[in-house]
Amino acid sequence: MAATGTPEPGDLIEVFRPAYQHWALYLGDGYVINVTPVDEGPPARFASAKSVFSGKARVRMQLLKDVVGNDTYCVNNKHDNTYRPLPVEEIIRRAESFIDQEVSYDLLGSNCEHFVTLLRYGQAVSDQANKAITAIGFVTVAAGAFSLLGFLRSRSRERQY
């Protein structure tokens, strides 16, 4: 478990997984709160990926070292310049009220990053989701353009014969 920065209660923790980033919120004394698949026992490496397919997640309080495993993490309160963090006591109180609760999980609208930013700022924000939505929009527009070009090309061939 390699780390960048010493977490303080209320800090956002970004865990670098092989294919994505997992997010947790530091509670103190080595513990974090994060969302995991409903049926998960011990922390899983692809926890968020499993939740995508079930549409549900469970909020768990776990040791940071167990959540991170062999991956790396950093303290990343990246939205502090955009949103004012809530008072630490309120962040922790709100976080603790979710422990062991089942929550809905949606990669684009309600993921682990949305969850922890909602706790810290009162706003659910996910740069990962925004990037994915932008990529989906670009692919959709490109596919539409190629379809239109194909249609126009076939119409022009029809006119030639």
Residues with a catalytic annotation lie at: 22, 112
- What's the rounded Cα separation, in Å, for the pair 45 and 34? 13
Q: Kindly tell me the sign of the dihedral angle through the C-alpha atoms of 86, 92, 93, 95.
A: positive
- What's the rounded Cα separation, in Å, for the pair 137 and 115? 24
Cβ–Cβ contacts within 10 Å for residue 57, how many?
27
List beta partners, residue 91: none
Question: Strands 72-75 and 56-63: what pairing?
Answer: unpaired
Find the helix packing angle between 112-121 and 127-160, rounded to 10°: 130
The answer to whether the CB of 160 falls within 8 A of the CB of 65 is no
For residue 78, which amino acid is it?
K
